[in-house]
């Protein structure tokens, strides 16, 4: 069950590695929390069952690609699970997806972060995101985007702290209106 190409990424305090079924209890705890899911997606949701968490882990493992992946973020010291960090093709809004595909344009790559509330406030999201940016550069990506709920100021702050530029709001992705951040690598 090893993903094809998901290298472990290291930073000073963090290890970003492939998520496995051994992480099910953590993933279940993470996405069962309304404060975590509040600004993820466009509907109110939480996932509380082991089955939902296992399905999520399998989706996350399947997201591994040349410059894409969804990583479990843990501390180097003590291997304490902190959350999830991602680099992945971002879905265009339906009304735009066809025209973009017809024009033969590549999909944009999204960078993102979902941390457990116990890990908030220690700069871990910023540190994990910087590790992802270094990986993206090594893999030849030239731009990443981040989208946040317009009220998700914590996530917007992370985007700014890693050098992303706030481009205003957009309805280009996920069939919703988001704050858009971009970074040329």
Ligand X SMILES: CC(C)(COP(=O)(O)OP(=O)(O)OC[C@H]1O[C@@H](n2cnc3c(N)ncnc32)[C@H](O)[C@@H]1OP(=O)(O)O)[C@@H](O)C(=O)NCCC(=O)NCCS
**Binding positions for ligand X, rule: CB under 6 A:** 36, 39-40, 112-115, 120-126, 148, 152-155, 157-158, 161
Smallest gap from Cβ 120 to ligand X, in A, equals: 4
Of 46 and 120, nearer to ligand X (C-beta) is 120
For ligand X, give the closer residue by CB, 120 or 175.
Answer: 120
Least distance from ligand X to the Cβ atom of residue 99, Å: 25
Q: Give whichever of 6 and 84 is closer to ligand X, judged by the CB atom.
A: 84
Cβ at position 45, least distance to ligand X in Å = 13
Tokens of 57: 């882990």
Tell me if 110 sits within 8 A of 89, measured CB to CB. yes
Q: 44-65 b/e with 16+ CB inside 10 Å = b? A: eeebeeeebbeebbeebbebbb
- Tell the smallest beta-carbon distance from residue 38 to ligand X (Å): 7
Strands in the chain per DSSP E: 9-10, 14-18, 69-75, 81-89, 109-115, 143-148, 165-170, 178-184
């Amino acid at each position: 069950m090893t993903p094809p190409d998901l290298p472990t990424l290291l930073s000073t305090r963090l290890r970003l590695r492939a998520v496995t079924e051994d992480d099910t209890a953590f993933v279940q705890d993470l996405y069962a929390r309304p404060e975590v899911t509040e600004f993820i997606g466009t509907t109110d949701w939480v996932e509380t069952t082991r089955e939902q968490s296992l399905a999520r882990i399998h989706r996350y493992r399947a997201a591994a690609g040349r410059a894409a992946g969804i990583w479990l973020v843990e501390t180097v010291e003590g291997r304490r699970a902190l959350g999830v960090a991602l680099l992945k093709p971002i879905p265009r809004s339906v009304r735009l997806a066809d025209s973009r595909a017809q024009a033969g344009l590549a999909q944009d790559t999204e960078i993102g972060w979902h941390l457990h509330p116990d890990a908030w406030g220690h700069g871990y999201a910023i540190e994990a995101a910087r590790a992802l940016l270094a990986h993206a550069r090594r893999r030849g990506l030239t731009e990443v985007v981040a989208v946040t709920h317009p009220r998700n100021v914590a996530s917007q702050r992370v985007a700014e702290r890693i050098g992303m530029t706030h481009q205003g709001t957009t309805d280009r992705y996920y069939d919703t209106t988001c704050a858009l951040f971009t970074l040329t690598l």
